[in-house]
A and B are shown apart, each in its own frame.
Chain A
Amino acid sequence: MKFFHYLLKIDRRIIYLIVGLLVMLPLIKPLGLGVSSGPRAKALFDAIDAVPAGKTILISVDFDPSSMPELYPMLTAVMRHAFAKNLKVLLCGLWVTGAGLADRAATEIPPEFGKKYGEDVVYLGWKAGIDAVILGMGENIKNVFPVDYNGRPLDSMPMMNTVKQLRDIPIVFAISAGTPGYQDWLLYAQSRYGMRVGAGMTAVSAADAYPYLQSGQLTGMLAGMKGGAEYEVLVQKAGYSKAYMPAVAAMDSQSLAHIVILILVIIGNIAYFVTRKRGA
């Protein structure tokens, strides 16, 4: 009986220690559980794979550093896929705090494929206005972003000669940690300009996206770190990239973290029901 009472009042620092150890161990020594790709990630992969070479895809980086470990891997995976397929990548963001993340991706990934800034990739940066920014880009991108993130005029970039407005872009992939995010792209870019929209989001907000998937408004979805891992696996299986897969590497840790939470909930419930019964 005392044991169950002890379980109910267990020091939270012991729980923190268990969680910390179980998250760290697989990062040091991977368990190799493997990641299989689900239909949502495959749908997005196929949609981007079907874009003809030379066309431009838009990636909206709508997250900040707090969600970076979960969402940044999907940004790099989709960019690698696009460059391997000889697609051009236009980056923008609706979150001011995420502006630096897109810049990092625009700097790090293109050289892996010998791609050049201005010819194969352009980062527009961030502008205030959210919906007005999307609607404005629908009419004329250069009106909203006369210069890129680094202050260079868009007119001086060869890539921007073929991309004038959203209708010139076959698909947008919006990676969102909340609002504004993929829903704004659906509301304005899709409903008004007919763009296909794929979405990446934190695992906790994935449940909100299902109605859009079933209605066909969302072309595909990457949910949380697992979504990123699934896309990394798809890109690597297709032979597009051999780069390190950070999301895949972290999935063992996430598996163990989920299991430890489930075990803790089970133990907590057993202790609760036993002590309640004895108490009654």
Chain B
Amino acid sequence: MKRSIPLAICLIMGITMMIQFFVPHPASVAFFELTAKWVRIIGAFALVLGTGSLVMYHIDKIQRRRTGWYYSIVTLIAAVITTVIGLGWGIKSGSIFQNVIFSNLMVPLNASMFAILAFYMASAAYRAFRARTKEAALLLVAAFIVMLGMVPIGAHVPFFWFMVVVNVALLVVGLVNRSKALLIGAGALVVGLLAWLGFSGFKVPQLMLPDTAEWVLSVPNMAAKRAIQFGVALGGIATALKVILGIERGWLGGGKQ
């Protein structure tokens, strides 16, 4: 009973809402508006549950003196102060909540946290971004094109000269490591660049890095993303059908039948 009622609600509502989507009759629209209200109300309850769960988790962490338990005290104090100020004096423009808690605490703290990422990324890229394999080298070149192409300085870099530099790097690394694959790659790139130069009447082609970055994002990136999104969408439809038909019951949680 504990499971069969939710399963029945899920089945009936799932099928009804699927049909409703294709029926523009006023009764169907009114029904949709009603269910949309229900969803928002349930969403509000989920917020209450989420807050309760957060408080219980941190109280438990403090009681058991788990690693970093003192941070939980800060979290709870911050939650209480924010709630008291928000409920007591409101969240309107110019309120204490807006001026002090949001603008002078949350905004600078959050922005600083995110800004620190630039430093970590620079350090991590320096230590870990290595052209160890062919795939990694390809990724490195694509990353260079997109990173430079997405900032104004990239507009001053012709793609041709960029590839000449890449070619020299390939050649040097190939010679130092005596890697046949890299030397063959460098040779092929030389042929390609010379052919490109020939087709352009021996004038350096005017294709700039932002154009190349746009191509990288619009063609190979988009093909991969689209494939992933198709997969995700089909997976989503399959999962939704399994939930509606009661095959997938993970959402019911544990407990007895």
Interface string of A87-128 (1 = CB under 8 A from B): 000000000010111011001000000000000000000011
Given contacts A12-B123, A35-B152, A269-B131, whether A99 and B111 have CB atoms under 8 Å apart is no
Given contacts A103-B93, A210-B217, A254-B151, whether A132 and B40 have CB atoms under 8 Å apart is yes
Given contacts A68-B107, A143-B37, whether A262 and B144 have CB atoms under 8 Å apart is yes
Interface string of B31-52 (1 = CB under 8 A from A): 0110011011001101100000
| CB atoms of A143 and B115 under 8 A apart | no
B67 at the interface (CB under 8 A from A): no
| CB atoms of A97 and B106 under 8 A apart | yes
B65 at the interface (CB under 8 A from A): no
Contact residue among A35, A136, A252, A262 (Cβ-Cβ distance under 8 Å from B33): A136
Contact residue among A99, A128, A261, A274 (Cβ-Cβ distance under 8 Å from B176): A274
Interface string of A187-221 (1 = CB under 8 A from B): 00000100000000001001110110110000000
Name B140's closest neighbour in chain A (CB-CB).
A265
| CB atoms of B152 and A100 under 8 A apart | no
A132–B221 Cα distance when bound, in Å, is: 32
A79 at the interface (CB under 8 A from B): no
Given contacts A15-B119, A107-B93, A260-B122, whether A139 and B36 have CB atoms under 8 Å apart is yes
Q: Which residues of B contact A69 (CB under 8 A)?
A: 111, 114-115
Q: Which residues of A contact B37 (CB under 8 A)?
A: 136, 143
A99–B103 Cα distance when bound, in Å, is: 11
A211–B90 Cα distance when bound, in Å, is: 42
Q: Which residues of A contact B19 (CB under 8 A)?
A: none
Given contacts A65-B107, A66-B113, whether A251 and B151 have CB atoms under 8 Å apart is yes
A232 at the interface (CB under 8 A from B): no
| CB atoms of B40 and A129 under 8 A apart | yes
Name A107's closest neighbour in chain B (CB-CB).
B93
Interface string of B70-102 (1 = CB under 8 A from A): 000000000000000000001111000010001
Looking at the complex, which of A16-24, A44-52, A153-161 is the stretch in contact with chain B? Answer: A16-24
Given contacts A150-B92, A210-B225, whether A143 and B33 have CB atoms under 8 Å apart is yes
A86–B130 Cα distance when bound, in Å, is: 52
Name B107's closest neighbour in chain A (CB-CB).
A65
Given contacts A128-B44, A149-B92, A150-B93, whether A261 and B147 have CB atoms under 8 Å apart is yes
Q: Which residues B105-132 have CB closer than 8 A to chain A?
A: 106-111, 113-115, 118-119, 121-123, 125-127, 129-131
Interface string of B149-183 (1 = CB under 8 A from A): 01111111000000000000100010011000000
Q: Which residues A217-269 have CB closer than 8 A to chain B?
A: 223-224, 226, 229, 251-252, 254-255, 257-262, 264-269
Name A104's closest neighbour in chain B (CB-CB).
B103
Contact residue among B106, B130, B156 (Cβ-Cβ distance under 8 Å from A65): B106
Name B48's closest neighbour in chain A (CB-CB).
A128
A213–B217 Cα distance when bound, in Å, is: 11
| CB atoms of B125 and A269 under 8 A apart | no
| CB atoms of A273 and B176 under 8 A apart | yes
CB distance from A145 to the nearest CB of B (A): 11
Q: Which residues of B contact A62 (CB under 8 A)?
A: none
CB distance from A100 to the nearest CB of B (A): 4
Contact residue among A20, A266, A274 (Cβ-Cβ distance under 8 Å from B119): A20
A84 at the interface (CB under 8 A from B): no
Q: Which residues of A contact B103 (CB under 8 A)?
A: 100, 104
CB distance from A165 to the nearest CB of B (A): 11
Contact residue among B47, B110, B125 (Cβ-Cβ distance under 8 Å from A261): B125
Name A134's closest neighbour in chain B (CB-CB).
B36
| CB atoms of A68 and B130 under 8 A apart | no
Q: Which residues of A contact B226 (CB under 8 A)?
A: 211
Name A177's closest neighbour in chain B (CB-CB).
B114
Given contacts A36-B155, A64-B110, whether A214 and B218 have CB atoms under 8 Å apart is yes
Q: Which residues of B contact A99 (CB under 8 A)?
A: 91
Q: Which residues of A contact B125 (CB under 8 A)?
A: 261, 264-265, 268
Name A276's closest neighbour in chain B (CB-CB).
B177
| CB atoms of A265 and B47 under 8 A apart | no
Given contacts A255-B153, A265-B126, whether A135 and B110 have CB atoms under 8 Å apart is no
| CB atoms of A268 and B144 under 8 A apart | no
Q: Which residues of B contact A38 (CB under 8 A)?
A: 210, 214
Given contacts A136-B36, A140-B33, whether A268 and B218 have CB atoms under 8 Å apart is no
What is the interface of chain B, defined by CB distance below 8 A to chain A?
A: 21, 29, 32-33, 36-37, 39-40, 43-44, 46-47, 90-93, 98, 102-103, 106-111, 113-115, 118-119, 121-123, 125-127, 129-131, 140, 144, 147-148, 150-156, 169, 173, 176-177, 210, 214, 217-218, 221-222, 225-226, 229
- Sample of 10 A–B contacts (CB below 8 Å): A16-B119, A132-B43, A135-B32, A143-B37, A224-B150, A258-B150, A261-B125, A264-B125, A269-B129, A277-B177
